[in-house]
Amino acid sequence: MSAFAILLTAALLGFGIRNLRWLKGFAFAAILTAAFFALASPPISGYTADTLSAFFGRLMLLTLAAVILGETERINIVQTLFIGAAGFLLLQSTTLLAFVLAFETLSILSFILVARMQNASQAEGAVKLFIAGAVATGLIMLGLALFTLSGHPLNAPLNAPLGVLESIGLWVMLAGLFYKLTIVPMHGWAADSYALVRPAHAAILSGIAKTVVVVALFRLFDAWLIVSPLSINILLALAIATMTLGNFMALFQQRLGRILAYSSIAHAGYMLLAIAAVKSAYAPAGLLYLAVAYLFMQTALFLLLDRLGNGLSDLDLNDIKGLASRDRFAAFYLSVQLFSLAGIPLLAGFLGKAVALFAVVDAGYWPAALIALLNSALSVGYYAWIVKQLYFDDAKAKTRLTALTAAPAFAQLILLAGTLYFGIAAFSIFAVAF
Amino acid sequence: MNPLYLVFGPILLSLIAYISPQGWGKYIALALFGFLMKSSITLYTLLPAHGYLMLGRYLRIDPLGFTLSLQVDQLSVVMLLLTALLLLLVALSSWSVAKNSNAYFALLILFAGPIFGVFMSTNLLWFFIFWELTLIPMFFLIGFWGAERRIYAAMKFFLYTHFASMLILLAFFLIRQQSGVFDMTLVRESMLATPTLIWWLLFIGFAVKMPLFPFHTWLPDAHVQAPAPVSVLLAGVLLKMGAYAMIRMGILMLPESAERFAVILLVIGLITLFYAALMALYETHLKKMVAYSSISHMGLVAVGIATLSASGLSAALFEMIGHALIISPLFLIAGFLHHRTGSWQMKEMSGLMQRAPYLSALFMLAGLAALGLPGTMGFIGELTILLSAIDAYGVVMALVAIGSILSAGYLIRSFRKVLHGECSPLLAQSDLRPDAALLATLVIFAALIVFFGLWPGPLFDLINPVFNGGAL
């Protein structure tokens, strides 16, 4: 019994359950069982469960449970289980072939997820995601083909010295992966897609799938990156460009979805910086911390937007003016997660950035860490601006917002607990990463 | 007593104050601040003659050296006592706050935990965590309860100081990378590879908080827009946090770099002293004049720190305490006058002496103390800094006295414009009776200014061991 098999079976069986409550109960039971068996490896070559995959996989399941808790459509719950299964598979991949197979499965499931749309703008977001995904897949396949040409076995780990052709192949693959991870200059699609698709779907794409890919990518590629100094320099440059552009663009947005989308791009830059710090012993902990923090923060924010906007994706700053006077809990959840994204202490976002950027300094790239820290300070400009709308502005007489009901509020509490817990309790992450 | 109560207790208590029945927040705040004062006194009595009193180590993350290490020495306890006193007086002076009073006091309570953490933590990363956490309650206090342009001021305050904090964090990372420790008590013994870079990062970060020229521009806006009791916290606690960090890390933790760059601190301190005094001289906005006076006095504190001598640092610490006690009543009175008249302009408040003689007397006393009148704390602070500066840098430092002349200029001008003359129509139609809590607060400040001005011995007894115990 492995977590992947349990979630896959649950997803398939879930098609047959017509009652929403029953389906939710069944999904929670499946998630609990999968979490219990997170350390069991699937009986497929190239996939091995370890403490890292089990740790991050369990946290992923917790956020998926929060997604399911606030979900109102049966099909989305089933798809969330599928994504959980693919996420586990990706986290457990130990070879290039296994990684690509799991990654593509996750991509296809993402396309199916966003294909369920309510209006034209969500269709636009879905199409852009599909096109970007197709380009990424094309690049990954090209990279894989180049890598295969060298004769290096696809099912071997990447810890042996590699030749030029293999390295070119891996770089082309990384370009494809960076396309999905919204690294500049391959970020353009994300600002639209994340902002246009249903926010609950954006929570899965940007909050859950992205972090799973980053953690799995680091696990697989770190051995190669350590012995490839040129790669580190390229990664540093890309990371700086990504975080800077993401933060500057976010400053000028009005729509909340787009602010979060650009914030997501900026965070991809921070994560890439942690990957570039691979030669520091703290890099695994830094990246893992950043990914864990981001998993909770971003998922919580997009889910909150989804419920406040009743599934619509066009909320802007005017819509949330004075929210604190109307729904103080929703305003509180939003503010805490935004402050966490901004890197305010005692919240997970701070320690995530702190450990990751310490790894960057430890690796000897303190100017890059300085740029990242200044970027983080810049980002306060737009996060605090949202908080300003929530608390300091007067509420409009007419509002498009819907009140937060019990289930989504409980989901927010779960995610808030994660953000607060990892804001102080760093030992669990260090125990896994060291 | 578990020291975690002092740093995390207020954070939890702020939630209780927020959700408690309306009006209870102020009582919870007062009780907590009383408890913090009692705890600070207890810590003082427990202090060893030299070195730190270890209170505990918590939340250990050994691979990173990230441990909440709570220790206090004389310097921290002096700051704790000052902070607890100011928190009590701020709570008292805020007694009449009516708009969302529970939220207001909950934020004051929330501010207390991190500020105690700043003075108690010897782990650099935890110091930074508490340092940054003070921003959140301040952001909301200015942005929600401030004056007309409060949102602009709150955003500027948050962004400006957060940017500076990032430099401090980078310095801490470099220290950890090069020394292998985050513990500030051990850094002094370590060989740092890039001490100059680290010192400059820390210097700029702390200079923004103090604030020193040219990093001061956030403060006049924050002071003007903040409600008066919050201005007291800004001037009395937040700015002191910057000066404390400058002494603790810029001087005591990195003594060799401090010696190399002391002249820079001295020059910037002098520029701040004169620039802010000149700005105050031309200011017609009462609270802004007080704000520039506050910056000017922090320049004087920087001069005292730059002497690097035990007497100079003691004088700077005395001036820090004196400044907190002197500038606070000025802010409270300026805020009160604006609240009652709706104006900030001095010319629209002329004749205050006729309408509110007690308030005028208190304003004059605090103003005279600010310009360094003998018999007040201001005189002792300025004189001891002047003597230490001359001792360290020669007679040329007599020009520090020019700062006092300038402060006499703008303060006497404010007396002439506000206290004397014909009673302005705006003042004539305003109710200028302060509530009892505010009056009591002002009287306590006045009593302390005069008491320690006439009898500075007890305060120096408290301060002198800080720097005479081998810390330098």
Each residue's pLDDT tens digit, B53-71: 999 998 888 788 888 999 9
CA atoms within 13 A on the CB side of B189: 6
The more confident residue out of A316 and B84 is B84
Contacts of A358 in chain B (CB under 8 A): 64, 173, 176-177
Element (H, E) at A254: none
Instruction: Evaluate if residue B472 carries a pLDDT over 60.
Output: no
Q: Cα–Cα distances in Å, from A163 out to A97, A107, B23?
A: 18, 29, 73
ipTM of this complex prediction, to 2 decimal places: 0.91
Each residue's pLDDT tens digit, A228-240: 777 889 999 999 9
CA distance B64 to chain A (A): 8
- B135-145 and B124-133 helices cross at what angle (nearest 10)? 10
Q: What is the pLDDT of residue A115?
A: 82
DSSP assignment of B354-387: HH-HHHHHHHHHHHHHHTT-TTSHHHHHHHHHHH
Q: How many CB atoms lie within 10 A of CB A97?
A: 17
Q: Using CB atoms within 10 A of its CB, is residue B42 exposed (0-12), middle (13-18) or buried (19+)?
A: exposed
Average pLDDT, chain B: 90
- Tokens for A428? 């669990």
Contacts of A434 in chain B (CB under 8 A): 63
Q: Which residue stretches of chain A have pLDDT < 70?
A: 1, 159-161, 313, 434
Which of A379, A392, A424, A432 to mutate to test binding with chain B, by most B CBs within 10 Å of its CB? Answer: A392
Share of chain B above pLDDT 70, in %: 99
Closest Cα to residue A56, out of A9, A88, A89, A102? A88
On whether any CB of chain B is under 8 Å from the CB of A361, the answer is: yes
Instruction: Evaluate if residue B227 carries a pLDDT over 80.
Output: yes
Q: What is the pLDDT of residue A42?
A: 82
Contacts of B63 in chain A (CB under 8 A): 282, 285, 430, 434
Q: What is the pLDDT of residue B305?
A: 95
B402 pLDDT tier (thresholds 50, 70, 90):
confident
Each residue's pLDDT tens digit, B85-114: 999 999 999 988 878 889 999 999 999 999
- B377-393 and B310-341 helices cross at what angle (nearest 10)? 140
Instruction: Evaluate if residue B356 carries a pLDDT over 90.
Output: no
Residues 6+ apart with CB under 8 A from B38: none
End-to-end CA separation in angstroms for chain A: 27
Each residue's pLDDT tens digit, A142-183: 999 998 888 878 777 776 667 888 889 999 999 999 998 999
Cα dihedral: B222, B225, B226, B232 (round 10): 70
Contacts of B144 in chain A (CB under 8 A): 391-392
On whether any CB of chain A is under 8 Å from the CB of B239, the answer is: no
- Cβ atoms of B211 and B266 closer than 8 Å: no
Q: What is the pLDDT of residue B470?
A: 52
Instruction: Evaluate if residue B471 carries a pLDDT over 60.
Output: no
* A233: amino acid identity, one letter: N
In the three-class reduction of DSSP (H, G, I as helix; E, B as strand; rest coil), residue B55 is classed as: strand
Pairwise CB contact (< 8 Å): A358 & B155 = no
* Spans of all domains in chain B: 4-468
Q: What is the mean pLDDT of residues B372-401?
A: 89
Residues 6+ apart with CB under 8 A from A389: A317, A318, A320, A321, A322, A323
Contacts of B132 in chain A (CB under 8 A): 344-345, 350
B188 pLDDT tier (thresholds 50, 70, 90):
confident
On whether any CB of chain A is under 8 Å from the CB of B127, the answer is: no
- Cβ atoms of B427 and B418 closer than 8 Å: no
Pairwise CB contact (< 8 Å): B128 & A377 = no
The alpha carbon of residue B164 and the mean position of all alpha carbons in its chain are separated, in whole angstroms, by: 17
